[in-house]
């Protein structure tokens, strides 16, 4: 089985749009400092890296699924050209109501990716910038990391907190070094 790091998109890989707005064009993707390096480090530590993102902008008619998939194809290409590999992007196109099994905090996207790529969720991580990301990871059985990009300390049930994806990647790699002996049965 494979170990994976699941990443939220907005606020983890790229700058989040202002409240109430959505990233609807490639030109609005502003990759965060260290994002490529973080994915590269995780790849070289043996992690499959998969993006799992809520994109209700599709349900709201702000862009089509095809337009969103084109943005994601470009995202995959941008990372690959820098030597970092995002294996896939899973997205939930639904609005908050009616509830679905894929919209985080539900674990549907993680479970689907785990089945497709034969991922062992118990040795995998979910990295996000919201409580719903952390809850999805915990529900799926993953370790969790919360990215908090400012100085405020957030109350979170995440296993670790970092100021960026790169900071989270370093902490995940340190945790991985300390854990293998404890996981031998």
Catalytic residue (one of 8, 129, 133, 159): 8
**Which tens digits make up the pLDDT trace of 144-153?**
999 997 655 5
For the question of residue 8 being annotated catalytic, the response is: yes
pTM to 2 decimals? Answer: 0.92
For the question of residue 150 being annotated catalytic, the response is: no
Is pLDDT at 180 greater than 60 in this prediction?
Answer: no
**Which tens digits make up the pLDDT trace of 126-174?**
999 999 999 999 999 999 999 997 655 566 789 999 999 999 999 999 9
Which tokens sit at 126?
């979910």
3-state SS, one letter per residue, for the chain: CEEEEEECCECCCECCCCCCCCCCCHHHCCECCCHHHHHHHHHHCCEEEEEEEECCCCCCCCCCHHHHHHHHHHHHHHHHHCCCCCCEEEEECCCCCCCCCCCCCCCHHHHHHHHHHCECHHHCEEEECCHHHHHHHHHHCCEEEEECCCCCCCCCCCCEEECCHHHHHHHHHHHHHHCHHHHCC
Catalytic residue (one of 10, 129, 133, 159): 10
Domain range annotation of the chain: 3-183
What local confidence, expressed as pLDDT, does residue 178 receive? 53
**Which tens digits make up the pLDDT trace of 40-58?**
999 999 999 999 999 999 9
Please say whether the dihedral angle defined by the alpha carbons of residues 39, 100, 157 and 137, taken in this order, is positive or negative.
negative
According to CATH, the topology of domain 3-183 is Rossmann fold (3.40.50)
């Amino acid at each position: 089985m494979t170990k994976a790091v699941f990443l939220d998109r907005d606020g983890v890989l790229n700058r989040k749009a202002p409240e109430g707005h959505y990233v609807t064009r490639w030109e609005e993707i502003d990759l965060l400092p260290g994002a490529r390096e973080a994915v590269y480090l995780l790849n070289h530590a043996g992690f499959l890296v998969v993006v799992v993102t809520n994109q209700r902008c599709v349900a709201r008619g702000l862009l089509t699924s095809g337009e969103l998939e084109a943005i994601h194809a470009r995202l995959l290409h941008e990372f690959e050209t820098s030597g970092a590999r995002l294996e896939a992007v899973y997205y939930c196109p639904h609005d908050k109501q009616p509830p679905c099994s894929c919209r985080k905090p539900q674990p549907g996207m993680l479970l689907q990716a785990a089945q497709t790529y034969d991922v062992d969720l118990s040795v995998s991580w979910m990295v996000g910038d919201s409580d719903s990301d952390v809850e999805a990871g915990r529900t799926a059985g993953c370790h969790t990391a919360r990215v908090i990009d400012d100085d405020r300390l957030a109350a979170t049930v995440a296993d670790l907190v970092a100021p960026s994806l790169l900071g989270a990647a370093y902490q995940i790699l340190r945790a991985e070094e300390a854990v293998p002996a404890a996981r031998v049965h």
